Amino acid sequence: MDSVDLEVLKIAAAWTEAGYFVTLGTVVRTWGSAPRPVGSMLVIREDGHLKGSVSGGCVEDDMMDRVRGGQWPSSTPELTTYGVSAEQAQRFGLPCGGTLQIVLEPIGAKARLRDLLAAIAQYRLVVRELDMATGEVRIVPGHRTPALEFDGRRLITSHGPRFRLIVIGAGQLSRYVASMAVALDYHVIVCDPREEYAEEWDVPNTELVREMPDDLIVRLRLDAHSAVVTLTHDPKLDDMALLEALKSPAFYIGAIGSRINNEKRRERLSLFDLSSSEIARLHGPIGLYLGARTPAEIAVAIMAEMTAIKNGIPVLQNFSAKESAPLGTACATTA
């Protein structure tokens, strides 16, 4: 789930435990152009304080007015719609033709937010099922289905890390990549058997392992919701991970290094039991061409390319820019 929405759940639990009357709003349907996607959440308490977003701001303003005026669900969830007419769309700042439906859920013990947050903290993928008639909630083991389903009777939301990122190497660049990936809702696993690097790793909400990279990749049984980036510049570590990752269904596999170094890497990989099509899956030089030079900029380039591929956006048009870039400059092409 999105890190912003995770913060919404945490605030909702804290406000409820502090004694406030709290309502959770979740976007369940949109038509036309909508400012926020399905699954977006906000929490609003009885005095109008709010966290999160379901629109550009005008819908939130109306919600604050309604809760202050007492026009708010008090016992069971309700469905509300914004933008059903041109006048409403203009009033609430929705784009032309935009309409959104929001489930408003009063938060109490039945909401089981602490159980949900505990599961997320353990990197578990879980499904929360809200009964619209009673407000009762079930939390069950999850699966990588659509993040939200709503049929008018039940609101089913998927929570927890839906994607995994395995980072080989615990150096400076890895710190930026890992931090950005956590914000993008990846379960980040950092692998570095080198003592001098691993002992310094302290990036919050990431998992550090010390085993050899190829053993880790085999153990994790990568699926189509997994990504691997190798960032050590050490073939003994990077290539070991790639030899196993390139045979997996992982949606993204990338390796740091210049164009020349990546061509040498592909030559080395071809000596092992990898097909030409498997080797062709390797992204190297890694990242979109942004003219990146600093570790933070290179991390942006890497996460941008990974995000594009995860979302089904072609990135082939960037290859020519990479190939023409001077050696040693980075689209994450550092040597």
Does the structure show a pLDDT above 70 at 88?
no
Does the structure show a pLDDT above 90 at 255?
yes
User: Cα dihedral sign for 288, 289, 290, 292?
Assistant: positive
Global confidence as pTM: 0.66
Which pLDDT score, from 0 to 100, does residue 144 have?
60
> Which token pair is 184?
């993008």
Does the structure show a pLDDT above 90 at 107?
yes
Among 192-196, 219-223, 252-256, 324-328, the range of highest mean pLDDT: 252-256
Which pLDDT score, from 0 to 100, does residue 172 have?
95
Which pLDDT score, from 0 to 100, does residue 207 have?
94
Q: Which residue intervals of the chain are DSSP H helices?
A: 3-17, 58-68, 86-91, 113-121, 172-183, 195-198, 213-220, 235-245, 259-269, 276-279, 295-310, 319-324
Q: What is the pLDDT of residues 224-254, one digit of tens each?
A: 889 999 999 999 999 999 999 999 999 999 9
**What is the overall mean pLDDT for the chain?**
86
Alpha carbon distance 188, 178 (integer Å) = 6
Which pLDDT score, from 0 to 100, does residue 225 have?
87
Cis-peptide, bond into residue 146, ω within 30° of zero: no
Which pLDDT score, from 0 to 100, does residue 36 have?
73
Q: What is the pLDDT of residues 144-178, one digit of tens each?
A: 666 789 999 999 998 877 789 999 999 999 999 99
Q: State how beta strands 50-52 and 78-82 pair.
A: unpaired
> What confidence tier does 79 reach under pLDDT thresholds 50, 70, 90?
very high
Mean pLDDT for 264-270 is: 96
What domains lie within the chain, and their CATH numbers?
Answer: 3-159 (no CATH), 163-324 (3.40.50.720)
Alpha-carbon 248 to chain mean position: 21
In which residue are the tokens 């956006």 written?
Answer: 313
Least confident of 160-169, 215-224, 319-328: 319-328
CB 229, CB 257: distance < 8 Å: no
Mean pLDDT for 57-68 is: 81
Least confident of 39-53, 94-108, 113-127, 135-149: 94-108
User: Cα dihedral sign for 51, 56, 61, 67?
Assistant: negative
CB 324, CB 330: distance < 8 Å: no
Which pLDDT score, from 0 to 100, does residue 212 have?
96
> What confidence tier does 124 reach under pLDDT thresholds 50, 70, 90?
confident
Which pLDDT score, from 0 to 100, does residue 93 have?
54
Alpha carbon distance 238, 213 (integer Å) = 8
Does the structure show a pLDDT above 80 at 114?
yes
Q: Say what the alpha-carbon torsion angle 33, 34, 37, 42 is, to the nearest 10 degrees.
A: 180
Contacts of 111 (CB under 8 A, 6+ apart): 12, 16, 24, 105, 135, 137
In which residue are the tokens 């570790």 written?
Answer: 295
